[in-house]
């Protein structure tokens, strides 16, 4: 099992120290979330399935691929991923350039986690139609894949059209991994059809089973698992087809490094192929 670390659940001041600790302890990956902007009108910010706003407008927001480039300079082996990037909120040229740059500067450690998003406010603020975000994301994935792999690219689609362009440098990885987040039927289809795997929301062993059943066999799964009972539980996740667990063994940012160290010792992180 591979283990990842969710930096977005920490105060930003701790991100570098925790990323460096994860790298040194043998964790396989670190992950940053992404939003472009928060509107002050909270009527559009109620998180699905709740009655409360899912955002605070004053929350500091960073360009996730750019920040991961900085973390790449302070680490040597840990993979650097987004969970998740709103790929279709920007032109594919911008997104493809950001992740190609990250992959080159990190010597092939980038993971492009993408999602359609739930928060209408930033789409309205950016002038991008919220209602077509899923279809726009599907097309954007197609375009960035081609930009990363083909010598020259021209495209004529529903949302994006451009004449022939060259795009260099290519990513270091022959196939830069694109993982789809989201738990709707459309998101699960996207993960299985267009991407290299699926990233879940936080789950337990029991709560993730229906999504994995809908996802279908053979799709690599990255699961956020914040309530592991102990090392013996890891085999249960693996039996479901989960290949990576993103874990949060801390409750306070100031304790994150020490708790990561304790988790690594208990779960055998870094032993063999990434851990237990």
> What domains sit in the chain, N to C, each tagged with a CATH number?
2-267 (3.20.20.30)
**DSSP-H helix ranges across 85-132:** 92-105, 120-126
Which residues lie across from 246 on neighbouring strands? Answer: 4, 224
pTM higher than the cut 0.85: yes
Residue with tokens 């990842």: 4
Q: How far apart are CA 153 and CA 146, in angstroms?
A: 7
Please write the tens of the pLDDT for every residue from 84-134.
999 999 999 999 999 999 999 999 999 999 999 999 999 999 999 999 999
Partners of 198 in beta bridges: 180, 221
The 10s digit of each residue's pLDDT in 59-69 is: 999 999 999 99
Rounded to whole angstroms, what are the CA distances from 179 to 38, 156, 158, 188, 254? 24, 24, 23, 11, 30
Predicted pLDDT of residue 275:
47
What is the distance between the alpha carbons of residues 218 and 168, in angstroms, rounded to a whole number?
Answer: 32
Residue 273 has pLDDT above 70, yes or no: no
């Amino acid at each position: 099992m591979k283990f990842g670390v969710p930096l977005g659940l920490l105060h930003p001041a701790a991100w570098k120290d925790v990323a460096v600790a994860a790298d040194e302890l043998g964790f396989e990956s670190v992950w940053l979330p992404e939003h472009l902007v928060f509107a002050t009108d909270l009527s559009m910010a109620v998180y699905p399935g709740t009655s409360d706003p899912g955002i605070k407008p004053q929350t500091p927001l960073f360009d996730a691929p750019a920040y991961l480039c900085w973390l790449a300079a302070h680490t040597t082996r840990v993979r650097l991923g987004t969970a998740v990037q709103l790929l279709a909120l920007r032109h594919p040229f911008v997104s493809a350039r950001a992740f190609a740059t990250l992959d080159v500067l990190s010597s092939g450690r980038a993971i492009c986690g993408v999602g359609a998003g739930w928060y209408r406010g930033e789409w309205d603020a950016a002038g991008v139609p919220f209602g077509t975000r899923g279809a726009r994301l599907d097309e954007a994935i197609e375009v960035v894949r081609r930009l990363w792999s083909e010598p020259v690219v021209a495209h004529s689609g529903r949302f994006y059209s451009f004449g022939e362009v060259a795009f260099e440098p290519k990513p270091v990885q022959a196939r830069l991994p694109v993982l789809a987040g989201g738990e709707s039927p459309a998101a699960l289809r996207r993960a299985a059809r267009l991407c290299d795997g699926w990233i879940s929301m936080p789950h337990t062993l029991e709560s993730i089973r229906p999504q994995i059943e809908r996802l279908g066999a053979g799709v690599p799964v990255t699961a956020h698992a914040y309530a592991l009972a102990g090392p013996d539980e890891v085999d249960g996740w693996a039996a479901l087809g989960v290949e990576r667990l993103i874990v949060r063994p801390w409750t306070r940012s100031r304790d994150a490094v020490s708790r990561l160290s304790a988790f690594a010792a208990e779960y055998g992180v870094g032993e063999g192929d990434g851990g237990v």
